[in-house]
Structure 1
Amino acid sequence: MSRFIKIIRSVLIGIGAILPGVSGGMIAASFNIYKPLIEALNQVTRHPIKAFLSIWEYLLGIFIGLIIAFLGVMKIFEYIPIPSTLLFIGLILGGIPEILFYAKYKEMKLKNILVTVSGFIIMISVIFLEQLGGLTTTSTNYFMWFIVGFLITTSFIIPGLSGTMILLMIGYYKPMLALVNDLIKSLIVFDFSVLYNEFWSIVFIALGLIISAIILAKLISVLLKKIPEYFYQFILGIIIASPINIVYSLNIEMSENNIFNFKETWLSWLIGCALIPLGIWIARLFTKGEKNETKTN
C-alpha cells in the first residue's frame, strides 16, 4: 500500500471521528488498517519511537482529517447534511467485503452468527443513550473535559462507537467544536490567547485522549490476538447497524428540522441515495487488492 493511499484513508478516519454517529474506528476497520493502528498503540508505552514510525502516515492523515473536519467538513454537513451523511454511510458499507473475509464468514456457524447479531443489537441500543441528554457545560468543568477527550478516542479505537454522538447527546459536542475551532483559528494567526485562557481544559482533554488510547488499545489488542474471527464477526454486526445509528444521530442534531419530512427533504434524500454507491465505490477503490495481499502474507 503506497504512503499516499495510507494518508488519504487516514484523512477519512480523522473526518469520520468528528462526525456524530460516524466512528473513525469503523472506517479504519472497513479500510483494513484497524489492526496495525491498534498494534502500534499497544506498543507505544514500551517502544514509542518504533510504534510511531510504523504508523506515521496514518497519524499524519488522521491529523489532517481532524483539521479538515473542524474547519471545513462541518460546514458542508451543516449545509447539505443528508447527502454528505449518506456518502459517509457508503464509505462504511464499502468495507464490508473485507470484514467478511477476516470474519471467515464461509465457516460461520450458529454461534458465530449470534456474535454478529449481538454486535448489531448493541449498536442499535446505543440509540437509547439519547436519554442522557440535557447536561450543561462550563469551561471550568475539567472532569467533563477529560470525559470529552476519552470519548473522542473511543471514536478511533472502538469500531461502531461514535464518541462524538455521545458528546452530542450529553451536551458537550458543540462546546468541544467551538473550543477546537477557536484554538485552531487563533494558532494559525499566532494568537495564543485561546490557548492561555483554555489551557487547563485543553490539558484535561489531552489526558482523556492519551489514557483512553492506552487502555483501549491494550484491551482490543488482546482480543485481536486471542479471538480475531469473533472480533470481526462482532464488528460486522456493528457495521450493518451503523447506517441506522448515523441517520438517527443526524436527526437528533437537526432537531429543528425533521429529516424524515420527505415533502421538504426528498431532493436531499434522492441525491444522498445516489451518493451511497459512490461512497461504496471509493471504499472499494481504497481496499482493492487488500485481500490478496493478506493471503500472500
Structure 2
Amino acid sequence: MTTDDTPIRPDAPDATDLHAPDSVGAWLVRLLKGIAVGVGFILPGLSGGVLAVIFKIYDPLIKFLANPLKNFVRQVKYFLPVGIGGIIGVVLFSIVVAAAFGRYEAAFVCLFIGFVIGTFPSLWRQAGKKGRAAKHWVILAVSVAVIFAIMLAGGGLNLQVPPSIPVWLGSGALIGLGVIVPGMSPSNFLIYFGLYDKMAEGIKDFDPSVFIPLGIGLVLCVVLFAKAANWGFERHYAGMYHFILGMVAGSSLAIFPTVVFAPDAIEKSGLGMGAFLASCAVMLALGVLASWLFSKVEDRYASERDAIDAG
C-alpha cells in the first residue's frame, strides 16, 4: 500500500497486471531456484520437492500442472527459467558427482541442509496459515517418524539393479515422486539400487538411453499425480502442509546418520575427525546464511507470482 509520501514511478509495472513485463531480477531468481531444485533431484539425502517447497515454487507448480490451461502462456513464461535452471542443476551436478562428489559428499549435503534449516521457520508459518489443530500435530509427528524410519532402514540396503530403459523409466518416476512428495529423496533409493553413479555418468555424457527415459518417467509421474496433490491442498491445506513439513524435517534429520555420518564418510573425505566436523559445520552455516539472504530476494518478487495466481 502506498501513501502520499511514497512516490510511484510511472514506468513501474503493476504487480497485479498479468501482462506486465517480467523483470530480469525475478527471472534470474527463478533460474537460481531451478538450479537448486535440479541439484536436489540428484543430491543424496535431499529432494527436489523439498527445495521447491523451500523456494516457494511447489504450490504454484502443482497448481499449474493440475490446471495447465489456466493462464497457460503466463505460467509457461514463469516456469521457463525454473525448468532451464533445473536442467542446468542436474547436468552440472552430475559432472561434479562423476568428478569428485564422493570425497565432498558430506559437505555438499550439509550445505543444502543449511538451506532447509534457514527456511524452516517460514515453512512453519506457511503450514499454520489456515490454522493448526491437534490432528495436524499428529500428521506432523507421524510423517517425521515414517520418512525417518524409511530412510534409516534404506541406508542399510545394497542392491545392484542392472540398468535398462525400463529401469531408467522407473528411476525417472521415482525422481518425479520426489517432486510430488517433498522429503522423499530419490537419489538415496538410486544409491541403494546401485544406479546412482550410472545415472550421473549417463547424464554427464548426454547418453540418450539414460536421460530420455529418465525425463519421460519424471514428467509422466509428476503430471499424473499433480491433480491429486492439488486436490489435497485445496481440501486439506493444513493437513497437507503439516505432512510436507514432517517429511522435510524427518528426511533432514535422517540425512545425518545415513549420509553425513555414514560409516565411511570421514574416510572418503580424506580429512581428520576435527577437520571433517569443521567443514560440515561451515557448509551448514553457509547454507543457512544463503537461505536467509535468498529469502530476502524472494520477498521482492513474490507479487509477480501472486498476480499470476490471481488471474
TM-score category by the smaller chain? Answer: 0.7 to 0.9
Which residue among 181, 190, 210 is the counterpart of 1:167? 190
1-structure distance, mates of 2:301, 2:135: 28
1:112 to 2:136 alignment: yes
2-structure distance, mates of 1:111, 1:168: 35
1:282 to 2:307 alignment: no
1-structure distance, mates of 2:283, 2:73: 40
Alpha-carbon offset, residue 23 of structure 1: 0.5
- The answer to whether the Cα contact below 8 Å between 1:25 and 1:159 also exists between their aligned partners in 2 is yes
Once the two structures are superposed, the pairs formed by residues 1-297 of structure 1 within 5 Å of their partners are 2-44=26-68, 51-72=75-96, 75-104=99-128, 107-127=131-151, 128-130=153-155, 133-138=158-163, 141-183=164-206, 194-195=207-208, 198=209, 202-250=211-259, 256-257=264-265, 264-288=272-296, 290=299
Q: Secondary structure at the match of 1:20?
A: coil
Query: Match for 1:67: what amino acid?
Result: V
Q: Secondary structure at the match of 2:205?
A: helix
- Inter-CA distance 109–46: structure 2 relative to 1 (3 Å threshold): closer
- Inter-CA distance 54–260: structure 2 relative to 1 (3 Å threshold): closer
Q: Secondary structure at the match of 2:288?
A: helix
Report the counterpart of residue 15 of structure 2 in structure 1. Answer: none
- The answer to whether the Cα contact below 8 Å between 1:223 and 1:231 also exists between their aligned partners in 2 is yes
How many corresponding residue pairs? Answer: 279
2-structure distance, mates of 1:256, 1:277: 23
- The answer to whether the Cα contact below 8 Å between 1:40 and 1:55 also exists between their aligned partners in 2 is no
Alpha-carbon offset, residue 269 of structure 1: 1.4
- Inter-CA distance 100–78: structure 2 relative to 1 (3 Å threshold): same
Q: Percent identity?
A: 22
Q: Secondary structure at the match of 1:108?
A: coil
2-structure distance, mates of 1:114, 1:105: 17
Alpha-carbon offset, residue 293 of structure 1: 5.2
Q: CA RMSD in A?
A: 3.1
Q: What TM-score results when the alignment is normalised by the length of structure 1?
A: 0.82
Q: What TM-score results when the alignment is normalised by the length of structure 2?
A: 0.78
Q: Secondary structure at the match of 2:168?
A: helix
2-structure distance, mates of 1:76, 1:290: 35
Spell out, residue by residue over 1:247-279, the C-alpha distance to the aligned partner (whole angstroms, 9 max, x if none).
Answer: 344269x76556699993331111211222221
- Inter-CA distance 249–217: structure 2 relative to 1 (3 Å threshold): farther
2-structure distance, mates of 1:115, 1:260: 37
Structure with the higher helix share, 1 or 2? 1
Alpha-carbon offset, residue 47 of structure 1: 7.8
Structure 2 unaligned segments of length 5 or more: list them.
1-24
- Inter-CA distance 9–108: structure 2 relative to 1 (3 Å threshold): same
Report the counterpart of residue 19 of structure 2 in structure 1. Answer: none
2-structure distance, mates of 1:59, 1:263: 37
